[in-house]
Amino acid sequence: MTTAYVIVTVVGAFMAAFSAASIFFRAKWVVQPLADYGVPRAWWTPLGVAKAAGALGLIAGLWVPAFGVAAGIGLVLYFTGAVITVLRAHWASHVAFPLMYMAPVVASLVLGFAA
């Protein structure tokens, strides 16, 4: 396990946890776009739980690699769905946001497999 892997994984986990907390606390700058994209309000908490679980899984993956891989794949799928949702809502200018959260998770998976 390299230092770069640990740092990137912790950053990815922090970003996913921050994103989850932003939904849980109904930060206007997060939930307003969700409403604009047409994401049903009933989905918001489960989406936050998915991101929080992914963040915990990335951290657990530092000790149990299979957890990190599963969490990483789950988060990549989650943020891929977010990109699709943004594009379907015709808000292409917002695509960078889910990609920004996905980037350290992808890097963590790449670095984890390279080690």
Integer CA distances (angstroms), 64 to 29, 74, 96, in order: 35, 16, 31
Mean pLDDT of the chain: 95
Q: Which domain holds residue 85?
A: 3-114
Tell me the average pLDDT across 88-111. Answer: 96
pLDDT at 69: 96
- Reported as a single tens digit per residue, the pLDDT across 10-52 is 999 999 999 999 999 999 999 999 999 999 999 999 999 999 9
For residue 1, the model assigns a pLDDT of 81
Coil/strand/helix, residue 23:
helix
Widest CA span in the chain: 41
In total, how many domains does the chain have? Answer: 1
Q: Is 2 left (phi over 0), alpha (psi -120 to 50) or beta?
A: beta
- Are 109 and 72 spatial neighbours (Cβ–Cβ below 8 Å)? yes
